[in-house]
A and B are shown apart, each in its own frame.
Chain A
Amino acid sequence: MAAQHPATAPGTGRSLARSRPRYGEAIIKALLLAAALVSIATTVGIIYSLVEPTIEFFQAVSIGQFFGSTNWGPLIKPATFGVWPIVVATLEITLIAIIVAVPLGLAAAIYLSEYAKPGVRKFFKPVLEILAGVPTVVFGYFALSFLTPLLKDIFPFLNLEAKNALSAGLLVGIMIIPIVASLSEDSMAAVPNGLREGSFALGASKMLTSIRVVVPAAFSGIVAAIILAVSRAAGETMIVAVAGGFKSIFTFDPTNEMATMAAFIAQAGAGDLSTGSIPYKTIFAVGSLLFIITFVMNWFSARMVQKYREVYD
């Protein structure tokens, strides 16, 4: 018997692996792989759905007009296709959101990671989680019917329009605080205690240790968190559709109503456009632009996390 089933006889080169294949296990593994491949299929599907109508769009509308003009009105007559107004609106709302979210989110992360006692953490973590779980249409409602009238009362000289980029941007900022906070906190928690202890041993205070040691050590994770938050802000739809409006005039003034790329897609998609018409294809052209912008940022962020995550382990 021992001769028939030699476990690893040293030097013979035989392995401990089973002698006959287990087909059941192989089938299960194939099934699991198939489930994982659904995600690849999703990406392929998104790209497939975007590419064809986008190419058809650019056969009808020149790239020069798309990127070379500042008049945007694909749904009205005569139709104009200069994409800059909605790109500028997207950038502006993203910028306002980042100005709100980066300081607040980072401060929250430093507090939770460096200062908070377990009891305090247990209280504030769910607050951030609940904030992250509020549907964005609710934020939109709050911006439209609470924040805008409030800002109008406090700053009457701003001449805020009923829908405006400022309120929408502020609420998008609140929306992305949990993203900045939780990802930054994860990377700060990964900073080994030896670094903090070394800093304390040299006489640094807790504040100096947090700012000069922990934050720089967790920098790649923090940058990844901010990039991800930017990408979320740029693609946010419901807040800007409700509180930012659909008007697309080329302007940098955030007190005006302005439509972002996502808001345009929502507005055009909600109308019943016939397949194959130019306005229908415009949805996909703008969608491609939005997808490329966010895809590049997400990819960069994911690479950054993947590359620098386990530096200290």
Chain B
Amino acid sequence: MAILSTPASTVRLASQGRPLKEHLFRIALLASLAIAMIFLVVLLVYVVTQGWSRLDLNLIQNFPSLRAVNAATAGVLSGIMGTLWVVALTALMALPTGVLAAVYLEEYADKTKWYNRLIELNIANLAAVPSIVYGILGLGVISRGFGLGPSVITGAITLSLLVLPIVIIAAREAIKSVPPSIREGSLALGATQWQTIWRQVLPASVPGIATGSILALSRAIGEAAPFLLLGAATLVRFNPDGLDSSFSVLPVQIYNLITNSRPEVQVVGAAAIVVLLAILLLMNSVAIWLRNRYQKRW
């Protein structure tokens, strides 16, 4: 009776219990993800404990200093203001250009034409060009070639070119996810192609574009390498006051502080890292939340 009442347990197609090897494999896979996560936690805890003694308002109110006597009160105000200026200008330049380019590639470009394929390949390629090479572009062409000098606008143009491929790729994904039936319906009702894009496709892809844009800008905020070549390397002790003003950005100030030989100065750098990571974590969370909240299933 007992056997008849539980036929499932007597006629199982799969082997009872998996072999040890299967378990070990699964654990090894999970362990590699766990390593990444543990690393992240250790990194965060370490940086916070190192910078803890200087996580105060002086940090965001005062100008930087490399002198040990000032280490108790020195801050990174000029770096924060420089980052705000440069990243705001980058958003103004790179986001519209990137979205327009994505619209062209997704909605207008004829993929059989060689020049459209070249544009696509070129964008994929630019997204992987080392950021220091963009610094060379900024130094050779924008700063010294155009004569814009080591100014806020030079930094912003360079940074815009750097994040542009990332914005384009993200915006294309968002536009691609709008189903063709939406476009066909709009066109069938007599809308022109641009009306269809402007009134149907773009509004439907706003959450995806916003998510991608936030991630691209958070990349921009953390970028330091190109600015080393653009004259932002010194510890600027004033806030930028215009497009032609010289400047520094937060990651470059962090670089200067943490590579300083005095431990007191390094602590200021660690505290500044906490500020930078807090901003980036906030932006990342907003992006992830946006994606989960507004992601449409068509």
Chain A positions within 8 Å of B, measured between CB atoms, are: 22, 24-25, 28-29, 31-33, 35-40, 42-43, 45-46, 48-50, 53, 103-105, 107-108, 110-112, 115, 124, 126-131, 133-138, 140-142, 144-146, 174, 177, 205-207, 228, 231-232, 234-238, 241-242, 262, 265-266, 269-270, 272, 275, 283-284, 287, 290-291, 294-295, 297-299, 301-303, 305-306
Query: How many residues of chain B are within 8 Å of chain A by beta carbon?
Result: 90
Known contacts A115-B26, A141-B273; is-contact A108 B36 (Cβ 8 Å):
yes
Q: In the assembled complex, how far is the CB of residue A285 from the closest CB belonging to chain B, in whole angstroms?
A: 11
Q: Determine if B136 and A46 form an interchain contact, defined as CB atoms under 8 angstroms apart.
A: yes
B105 within 8 A of A: yes
> Which chain B residues numbered 103 to 118 have a C-beta less than 8 Å away from chain A?
103-105, 108-109, 118
Q: In the assembled complex, how far is the CB of residue B218 from the closest CB belonging to chain A, in whole angstroms?
A: 6
B270 within 8 A of A: yes
A37 to chain B: which residues have CB within 8 Å?
119
Q: Determine if A142 and B43 form an interchain contact, defined as CB atoms under 8 angstroms apart.
A: yes
Contact of A265 among B31, B132, B192, B194 (CB under 8 A): B132
B21 within 8 A of A: yes
Q: For A231, give the chain B residue with the smallest CB separation.
A: B128
A49 to chain B: which residues have CB within 8 Å?
136-137, 139-141, 145
Contact of B258 among A24, A144, A290 (CB under 8 A): A144
B68 within 8 A of A: no
Q: Determine if A305 and B124 form an interchain contact, defined as CB atoms under 8 angstroms apart.
A: yes
Contact of A235 among B132, B219, B276 (CB under 8 A): B132
B233 within 8 A of A: yes
Q: For B18, give the chain A residue with the smallest CB separation.
A: A205
In angstroms, Cα B123 to Cα A100, docked, is: 28
Given A137-B258, A141-B254, A294-B130, 6 extra CB contacts under 8 A: A25-B194, A38-B101, A127-B37, A207-B26, A237-B228, A270-B233
B223 within 8 A of A: yes
Residue-wise interface mask of B (209-244) relative to A, using a CB-CB cutoff of 8 A (1 in contact, 0 not): 000000100110111110011010100000000000
B133 within 8 A of A: yes
Q: Determine if A146 and B28 form an interchain contact, defined as CB atoms under 8 angstroms apart.
A: no
Q: Determine if A301 and B128 form an interchain contact, defined as CB atoms under 8 angstroms apart.
A: yes
Q: In the assembled complex, how far is the CB of residue A272 from the closest CB belonging to chain B, in whole angstroms?
A: 8
B26 to chain A: which residues have CB within 8 Å?
111, 115, 206-207
In angstroms, Cα B215 to Cα A103, docked, is: 26
In angstroms, Cα B190 to Cα A145, docked, is: 64
Q: In the assembled complex, how far is the CB of residue A286 from the closest CB belonging to chain B, in whole angstroms?
A: 9
Q: In the assembled complex, how far is the CB of residue A279 from the closest CB belonging to chain B, in whole angstroms?
A: 13
Known contacts A35-B104, A141-B270, A237-B131; is-contact A108 B43 (Cβ 8 Å):
no
Chain B positions within 8 Å of A, measured between CB atoms, are: 18-19, 21-22, 25-26, 28-33, 35-37, 39-40, 42-43, 46-47, 50, 96-98, 100-101, 103-105, 108-109, 118-126, 128-137, 139-141, 144-145, 161, 164-165, 168, 192-194, 215, 218-219, 221-225, 228-229, 231, 233, 251, 254-255, 258-259, 266, 269-270, 273, 276-277, 280-281, 284, 288
B123 to chain A: which residues have CB within 8 Å?
39
Q: Determine if A36 and B47 form an interchain contact, defined as CB atoms under 8 angstroms apart.
A: no
A146 to chain B: which residues have CB within 8 Å?
42, 46
A174 to chain B: which residues have CB within 8 Å?
36, 39
In angstroms, Cα B109 to Cα A228, docked, is: 26
Contact of A115 among B29, B50, B225, B269 (CB under 8 A): B29
Q: In the assembled complex, how far is the CB of residue A59 from the closest CB belonging to chain B, in whole angstroms?
A: 17
Q: Determine if A42 and B137 form an interchain contact, defined as CB atoms under 8 angstroms apart.
A: yes
Q: Determine if B132 and A36 form an interchain contact, defined as CB atoms under 8 angstroms apart.
A: no
B233 to chain A: which residues have CB within 8 Å?
270
A234 to chain B: which residues have CB within 8 Å?
130
Q: Determine if B276 and A138 form an interchain contact, defined as CB atoms under 8 angstroms apart.
A: yes
Q: Determine if A39 and B145 form an interchain contact, defined as CB atoms under 8 angstroms apart.
A: no
Q: Determine if B288 and A129 form an interchain contact, defined as CB atoms under 8 angstroms apart.
A: yes
B276 to chain A: which residues have CB within 8 Å?
135, 138
Q: Determine if B229 and A265 form an interchain contact, defined as CB atoms under 8 angstroms apart.
A: yes
Residue among B21, B125, B126, B284 facing the most chain A CB atoms (10 A cut-off): B125
A269 to chain B: which residues have CB within 8 Å?
135-136, 139, 228-229
Q: Determine if A298 and B218 form an interchain contact, defined as CB atoms under 8 angstroms apart.
A: no
A291 to chain B: which residues have CB within 8 Å?
129-130, 133
In angstroms, Cα B35 to Cα A131, docked, is: 12
Q: In the assembled complex, how far is the CB of residue A248 from the closest CB belonging to chain B, in whole angstroms?
A: 16
13 pairs of residues in contact across A and B, judged by CB atoms under 8 Å: A36-B105, A38-B164, A39-B165, A43-B125, A49-B136, A137-B224, A207-B26, A234-B130, A237-B228, A238-B224, A265-B229, A266-B225, A287-B133
